Amino acid sequence: MHFLDILESWPEPRIRNLYDSVSPADVRGALSRERRDVRDLVALLSPVAIPMLEDIARESQRLTRRQFGRTISLYAPIYLSNVCAASCVYCGFSANAAGQQERVTLSAAEIELECKTLSAMGYESVLLLTGDAPAVVPPEYIADACSIARRWFASVAVEVYAMDAKEYELLCAHGLDGMTLYMETYERGVYAQMHRHGRKRDYLYRLEAVERAAAAGARRISMGVLLGLYDWRIEMIWLALHARYLERKRWQTALSVSFPRLRHTPPGFQIPHPASDMDLAQMIVALRLFLPEAGFNLSTRESAQLRDRLLPLGITSMSAGSSTRPGGYGAPECNRLAQFEIEDQRSPAEVVAMIRRAGYDPVWKDFDDAFLE
How far is it, in rounded angstroms, from Cα 65 to Cα 227?
26
Shortest Cβ 293–other proteins spacing (Å): 4
Q: How buried is residue 225: exposed, middle or buried, by Cβ count under 10 Å (0-12/13-18/19+)? A: buried
Contact 314, 296 (CB under 8 A): yes
Q: Does 359 bind other proteins (CB under 8 A)?
A: yes
Q: Does 37 bind other proteins (CB under 8 A)?
A: no
Q: Does 6 bind other proteins (CB under 8 A)?
A: no
Whichever of 49 and 294 has its CB closer to other proteins, that residue is: 294
List the one residue from 12, 112, 144, 247 that touches other proteins (CB under 8 A): 247
Contact 123, 92 (CB under 8 A): no
List the one residue from 81, 130, 253, 324 that touches other proteins (CB under 8 A): 253
Whichever of 174 and 336 has its CB closer to other proteins, that residue is: 174
Whichever of 37 and 361 has its CB closer to other proteins, that residue is: 361
Contact 78, 149 (CB under 8 A): yes
How far is it, in rounded angstroms, from Cα 47 to Cα 51?
8
Contact 30, 43 (CB under 8 A): yes
Whichever of 50 and 358 has its CB closer to other proteins, that residue is: 358
List the one residue from 251, 267, 268, 270 that touches other proteins (CB under 8 A): 251
Residues 156-215 touching other proteins, rule: CB under 8 A, are none
CA angle, 112 as apex, 224 and 366 as ends, to 5°? Answer: 50
The HSE-up count of residue 194 (CA atoms within 13 Å, CB side) is 21
Whichever of 110 and 366 has its CB closer to other proteins, that residue is: 366
- Residue 140: which of 113, 160, 115 has the closest Cα? 160
- Residue 83: which of 12, 140, 160, 28 has the closest Cα? 160
Show the binding pattern over residues 272-311: x = contacts other proteins (CB under 8 A), - = does not: ---------------------x------------------
Amino acid, res. 202: D
- Using the contact rule CB under 8 A, the part of the chain among 38-46, 63-71, 178-186, 312-320 near other proteins is 63-71
How far is it, in rounded angstroms, from Cα 320 to Cα 315?
14
- Using the contact rule CB under 8 A, the part of the chain among 167-175, 191-199, 229-237, 363-371 near other proteins is 363-371
Contact residues toward other proteins (CB under 8 A) are 65-71, 124, 154, 219, 247, 251-255, 293, 356, 359-361, 363, 365-368, 370-371, 373
